[in-house]
Chains A and B, each alone.
Chain A
Amino acid sequence: MIKIFMDEEPVEVEEGTTVLKAAERAGIHIPHLCYHPAFPPEGSCRMCLVEIEGFPKLELACSTVVKEDMKISTKSARVVEARKAVLEFLLAEHPLDCPICDKAGDCKLQDYYDEYGLFESQFKEAKEKREKKLKIGKTLILDQERCILCTRCVRFLKEVTKTQELGVFHRGVHSSVNIYDGAAVVNNYTGNLAEICPVGAITDEDFRFKIRSWFLEEGESICPLCSRGCNILIEYHPGFPRFNVPKRVYRIKARENPEVNGFWLCDRGRYGYSYLDEGRADQIILNKIEGENVLTWENISEYLGKKIKSL
């Protein structure tokens, strides 16, 4: 264990830890977009820049390894400015279509702007036009304009599935993620792409436009569809069936467990949840009522009221 100073607070961390992980252990969140704990640091989004005493430039929290007595500042004026600058750059070429974006409420770019941005846009130029609705897989839709080129998706397909269906094409501001020659993303782990996309660039047709994510609650569970026992999160509508929504479970997500499934979930486990709502009693059925024997949540109170009064 070595001692470092995180925003002037002494913190004990293991040797070899990165600044980002050390900060997390100290309860300090350093914003990051391209970094994902499953992959080696990429360092391309520049969101996690921090100030380290003795270093002339701001350094990446995701890749810099802590050293004894390192003094790290995650809130200094320079850091705040740099974060704002990165957000300003990202949002300049972003379509800002949150109201119609399926990822709204679930989007890191949105969250970070709320927390570290809140500036007025100075971008007065024409934005780059790109593909808005590319079908890149069985259920995956890619919006290149929303993409911030964190390349998490590209790296997932390179390092986890090793199928490499996605790549970065073109250069500079014209860079965009795409499939090769129309060959779709086909493997048993495609659903992870929508999950690791920090913005609304890759969305999943299984979930897209069905419900806003903020109406959902999540519960921890284990996928029952095979013997592996992948750890999952079930996102469900807490008001079902009382509210007028068509189903209870909307999405299954992977839940991190390094010993079983890492960060990932297969497509069978992710999309095979429909049985959860099928054939379940979602109506109130009263056998002993004369005439209509189906009650709704709206008229049950009237019926129950009558019953209680009659006692």
Chain B
Amino acid sequence: MKEKVLTEHFGLENLYKIDVYQKQGGYRATEKALKKMKPEEILDEVKKANLRGRGGAGFPAGVKWSFVPDTDKPKYLCVNADEGEPGTFKDRYIMIHNPHMLLEGIIITSFCVGIHVAFIYIRGEYEAIALRLEQAISEAYAKGFLGKNILESGFDLDVFVHRGAGAYICGEETALLESLEGKRGNPRLKPPFPASVGLWQCPTVINNVETISNISHIILNGAEWFVKKGLPKDGGTRIFSVSGMVKNPGIYELPLGTSLKDIIFKHAGGMKGGKKLKAVIPGGMSAPILTADEINIKMDFDSLVEANSMLGSAAIIVIDDKTSILDVLKVVTKFYSHESCGQCTPCRIGNSWINKIVKRIADGKGKKEDIDSILRLASNIEGNTLCPLGDAAAMPILSITKKFRKELESHL
């Protein structure tokens, strides 16, 4: 059984062109879905595959689609290609190497949910990738995979690429919708959830690039095959973005449930320059940090929740013993303070306040009570904000401060 799913053909010359992609079996899934399957059958298959969202929250994709109500209003699909979570660089690989795999996922998803307009919201910095997507889209139109009456199935779909303007918050699904509507990217109050009230107040499905890219493989090979690739409750593989002090940083597509230790020491070649492992951020910067003693852990949603961390976007940031944890905390607090949209009180002022304290400690003006202040402020942010950015900031700050308290105190 082949190991890789999404990255299998990466590296193949001109894979991004539709002819090469089709030679590898591309668009067969689209044909199967549109010609031989009913939307309900597709939904059933995706549900059975236990495909959980790859953006960070891990919400089952099929369940999300089933929340879309049956209305006369137009429905939309937004593919979240904002990829703002620090440490994450998997979606860009998918889009640059294999944009048609994403398009296939978009076509099948749209067909399943009854969507006729789809958007790819891509972060502004990915200019070249946006161009590549545009090329792929025009190729797909030319071959009749997009546009009116796709493959004579009577199904119409248009896909648009929309570039963001560089705000982390626009990766949050409702802020993404606001931004796509041309407004300031502030998150919306939930409920209502986008599945019922989304883009232009219409039902909207929002999925991450990697999530959507899995769809064609599920359709082609079946849910059972997909579940076997990962775990019963958490199907498929995951693309891990490994960065930091490892010999071979990069993306690694591995089954869900692969141990963190193996990813760092086997797949990524171990520590760079014989350095010692100090800590790992296992799921993008928002995920609570793990110490070197905690890396004997399976990388899947549930195992990491048990370890009081999270799989998030599966971005593994490896920190060595020469790196000061105060520097890590400084980067973390500066980032969230800078990226808070400013809409709700705890996130806007809390993150800036914590950042000011950490900067002061780094300037050598730390006070004894500062560590407790950081902990108190971060717990006052956690759970009390309008959108998940507050939690995303509080979780790493709390875990870093608690687990490395002694080292931080040595700076006071």
Q: Which residues of A contact B (CB under 8 A)?
A: 41-47, 49, 57-58, 60, 63, 81-82, 85-86, 88-90, 92-93, 122-126, 128, 148-149, 167-168, 170-175
Contacts and interface: CB of A to CB of B under 8 A. Distances in A.
Nearest to B379: A85
Interface residues of B, number: 29
Given A44-B344, A46-B344, A125-B356, A88 B380 contact: yes
A168 B386 contact: no
Contact of B340 (A49, A57, A122, A172): A172
A129 to B, nearest CB: 13
A-B pairs with the 8 shortest C-beta distances? A175-B342, A173-B352, A85-B380, A125-B356, A89-B349, A172-B340, A43-B189, A44-B344
B192 to A, nearest CB: 10
28 contacts: A43-B189, A46-B344, A46-B346, A46-B385, A49-B384, A57-B383, A57-B384, A58-B384, A82-B380, A85-B380, A86-B346, A86-B384, A88-B380, A89-B350, A89-B353, A92-B349, A93-B352, A122-B373, A123-B353, A148-B345, A149-B342, A171-B167, A171-B340, A172-B337, A172-B342, A172-B352, A174-B342, A175-B343
A256 to B, nearest CB: 24
B353 A92 contact: yes
Interface string B267-299: 000000000000000000000000000000000
SS of A interface (majority): loop
Given A41-B189, A172-B337, A172-B351, A86 B345 contact: yes
B348 interface: yes
A85 B351 CA distance: 13
A41 B352 CA distance: 25
SS of B interface (majority): helix
Given A41-B189, A172-B337, A125 B360 contact: yes
Contacts of B350: 89
B339 to A, nearest CB: 7
A43 B184 contact: no
Nearest to B167: A171
Contact of B345 (A46, A167, A174): A46
A89 B189 contact: no
A82 B346 CA distance: 10
B380 A89 contact: yes
Interface in B344-374: 344-346, 348-353, 356-357, 360, 367, 373
A173 B337 contact: yes
Given A45-B344, A172-B339, A175-B341, 8 more contacts: A43-B344, A89-B346, A90-B349, A92-B353, A149-B343, A171-B341, A173-B342, A175-B348
B9 interface: no
Contact of A170 (B342, B345, B357, B367): B342
Nearest to A81: B380
Q: A85, A93, A122: which has the most chain B beta carbons within 10 Å?
A: A85
Contacts of B344: 43-46
Interface in B23-55: none
Interface string B119-135: 00000000000000000
Contact of A89 (B345, B357, B373): B345
B411 interface: no
Contact of A63 (B167, B189, B385): B189
Contacts, number: 93
B403 interface: no
Nearest to B191: A63
B402 interface: no
B177 to A, nearest CB: 16
A10 B98 CA distance: 60
Contacts of A128: 352
B338 interface: yes
Contacts of B353: 89, 92, 123, 125
A88 B376 CA distance: 12
Nearest to A65: B191
Contacts of A126: 356
B349 A173 contact: yes
A126 B359 CA distance: 12
Interface in B381-405: 383-386
Contact of B348 (A42, A49, A122, A173): A173
A90 B385 CA distance: 14
Given A89-B350, A172-B342, A44 B380 contact: no
Nearest to A82: B384
A49 B386 CA distance: 11
Nearest to A33: B345
A168 B342 contact: yes
Q: B189, B340, B348, B373: which has the most chain A beta carbons within 10 Å?
A: B348
Interface string B164-176: 0001000000000
B338 A172 contact: yes
Contacts of A81: 380
A168 B352 CA distance: 18
A46 B189 CA distance: 12
A164 B337 CA distance: 28
A194 B373 CA distance: 36
B336 to A, nearest CB: 9
Nearest to A42: B189
A58 B343 CA distance: 18
Nearest to B390: A46
A60 B352 CA distance: 23
Contact of B341 (A45, A47, A172): A172
A122 B337 CA distance: 19
B380 A58 contact: no
A82 B380 CA distance: 7
A49 B373 CA distance: 22
Contacts of A149: 342-343, 345, 348
A47 B346 CA distance: 10
B352 A85 contact: no
A125 B357 contact: yes
B187 to A, nearest CB: 10
Contacts of A170: 342
A89 to B, nearest CB: 4
Nearest to A171: B342
Interface in B301-360: 337-346, 348-353, 356-357, 360
Q: A63, A167, A171: which has the most chain B beta carbons within 10 Å?
A: A171
Interface string B148-188: 00000000000000000001000000000000000010000
